[in-house]
A and B are shown apart, each in its own frame.
Chain A
Amino acid sequence: MYAYDELDRTIINERVSEFRDQVKRRLSGELTEDEFKMLRLQNGVYLQLHAYMFRVAIPYGTLSTKQLRALAHVARRYDRGYGHFTTRQNIQFNWIKLAELPDALADLAEVGIHAMQTSGNNTRNVTSDQWAGVAPGEVEDPRIWSELLRQYTTLHPEFSFLPRKFKFAITASDHDRAAIKVHDIGLRLYKNAEGETGFEVLVGGGLGRTPFIGKTIKPFVHGHDLLSYVEAILRVYNQYGRRDNIYKARIKILVHELGIEKFAQEVEEEWLQMRDSALAIDDAVIEDIRSRFSYPAYEKLPHMPEELKKAAHDPHFEAWRKNSVFPHKVPGYAIVTLSLKPVGGPPGDATADQMDAIADLAEKYSFGEIRVGHEQNLALPHVARRDLPALWKALDKIGVATPNVNLVSDIIACPGLDYCSLANARSIPIAQELTRRFANHETANMIGRLHVNISGCINACGHHHVGHIGILGVEKNGEEFYQITIGGRADEQAAVGTLIGPAVPYGEVADVVEDIVEAYLALRARPEELFIDTVKRLGVEPFRERVYATR
């Protein structure tokens, strides 16, 4: 966990006071909606179909039990008893009243949570690997650098009015769980041949209307130079990024139009002017941040304790363990993913009661820490393997132990037309139907790793472009239709999926996905060949034939 200092607490509290005053003036008519809109967006407040939506940041996906309980409190006191975890380590509340928002923010501020820069044309919540600090083989905890960027970009005047929103993601593992290649700036922390810690810097990734995979702008930037290099990128973007057309305003368009070489040259020129400025990071700064992260006092524990051997006779436990329990860097411990994808449930939603119960379990079994992943699941990062059987029973009781992590029913979905004012079509009912179709664990397990991502519009909050199977809702003559892509992925081999054919109506989407899966099962070279690898080997044609032959 990271401990905020007095400055952080002051900033958050002052922001609550400011917003309270702004809301008061808005409700009295002193501020018009035109004047107020930007202010509310800078505090994560959107207007959706039924109500205001309130988006709260969970920096680099790390929560304490106190913080999770505060989120549960907000869900219960100010909303309808649940929240929705998003693909960018935020949580959204869908039914909040503007008049009560300052109180909700004040309650969250007490535990160091805020909604600053969760919307608007500024630098957004810095995201990271949900296994940061505990993943085996990780270079170092990427949250140290995420926190550095959080401090640097929060309320930064030069980056508060960018041409468009701007998103960072950081990973320090070979396997990318933070989807860095689809972010405006993606950072991969690694050690170079000289043993120095630094970053591969990628720029211009993003989804939405015009998807691009990020390009490497510099293969190695030393940690000391991270802020100056990032600032150089943001300055070039701020100078040349388009402000005349919202659809062409993201940095990905600028990088595409200038070309990565020209863009890199501009950045390099800018960087060389400021590289040795005050932005050069002193080791002491990093050490100070590092010292504010606390790590558990792990015990020396056996890898295969008696409790685990005994529980291995229970097939339900074993199914869950094999699916949802992952190796930890410390022997005797494990990382446990909590599936927020129950059969028939809305992906990523958790009730206030579940959040409170998870906080209790984190306290008991995970040194009081919870993580949020971009796949809209939670994780307990420090679970002693001997506690797995007891934890499983408790998780199962509250409905977050569905053994479907990374399987076909572990679906990423945006809120879609059920909530969102931008959506053209519903996402959640499609996801729910798919979870029912693939509810059988043996079948899902036999299919293997398969990511289905659903967006209700081209803005791609459900990351459909990078789903192994991507589903995009569109509107045709007043009816919901869905375009299907396959072959996308969000990991270190990130790729944008390929459209397989004409959009299909709402009622046929689940059938089409079943057809695609059946085609894969028939086409895969061997049971171990993953869906994504079969698509890579064969292309989309055999899948297209299968889907459209009878349609």
Chain B
Amino acid sequence: MTSPLEQKKIRITGPSVVTANRTWDGVVIYRTAQQGWSAELSDAAIVRTSEEARALLTESIADDVGAIGAYVAPVEVKDTGAIKPGNLREHIRLQGVTIELPVPA
């Protein structure tokens, strides 16, 4: 995972979100446009320029109590407006493991 500091230098090439893990339980969360966090990708603030991404990341990192490990992740925005993870890693973080768990949830 690229550190947030390094990501500040990275330019995004498509729609992106800021994601992290919730501090108290580690659940995957996404930064919303209302300066909060949500476990739903559909609630995520979408950024489309590097400046927007850096600003959203800076704001997210400032919430050190609520979330850890914030970083910018690519997403796909469908014609319908639905947001999908932009790579396998983010797909797995959103949907869970790709295998059957030893004990069904």
From DSSP, what is the main secondary structure of chain A's interface residues?
Answer: mixed
Structural contact, B89 and A52, CB atoms closer than 8 A: no
Q: Chain B interface: which size bin?
A: 20 to 34
Given contacts A417-B92, A418-B92, contact A51 B98 (CB under 8 A): no
C-alpha gap A282/B96 in the complex (Å): 54
Structural contact, A52 and B26, CB atoms closer than 8 A: yes
Chain B residues with CB under 8 Å of A350's CB are 102
C-alpha gap A421/B68 in the complex (Å): 13
Structural contact, A349 and B23, CB atoms closer than 8 A: no
Structural contact, A419 and B97, CB atoms closer than 8 A: yes
Q: Answer yes or no: A262 CB below 8 A from chain B CBs.
A: no
Nearest B-chain residue to A421, judged by Cβ: B1
- Interface residues as binary, B59-100 with A (CB distance below 8 Å gives 1, 0 otherwise): 000001100110000000000000000011100110011110
C-alpha gap A422/B23 in the complex (Å): 19
Given contacts A26-B23, A98-B23, contact A349 B64 (CB under 8 A): no
B103 touches which of A82, A96, A426 (Cβ 8 Å):
A82
B92 touches which of A32, A49, A99 (Cβ 8 Å):
A49
Size of the A side of the interface (Cβ < 8 Å), in residues, is 37
Structural contact, B93 and A49, CB atoms closer than 8 A: yes
Binding site for A on B (CB under 8 A): 1, 21, 23-28, 64-65, 68-69, 87-89, 92-93, 96-99, 101-103, 105
C-alpha gap A133/B102 in the complex (Å): 32
Can you name 19 A-B residue pairings with CB atoms under 8 Å?
Answer: A27-B23, A27-B65, A29-B64, A29-B65, A47-B68, A49-B92, A50-B96, A52-B21, A52-B25, A52-B26, A80-B105, A81-B102, A82-B102, A96-B26, A350-B102, A352-B103, A417-B88, A418-B98, A421-B1
- Interface residues as binary, A1-44 with B (CB distance below 8 Å gives 1, 0 otherwise): 00000000000000000000000001111001100000000000
C-alpha gap A78/B39 in the complex (Å): 20
C-alpha gap A350/B26 in the complex (Å): 23
Q: Answer yes or no: A448 CB below 8 A from chain B CBs.
A: no
Chain A residues with CB under 8 Å of B25's CB are 51-52, 97-99
Q: Answer yes or no: A478 CB below 8 A from chain B CBs.
A: yes
C-alpha gap A97/B24 in the complex (Å): 6
Chain A residues with CB under 8 Å of B1's CB are 421-422
Structural contact, A418 and B103, CB atoms closer than 8 A: no
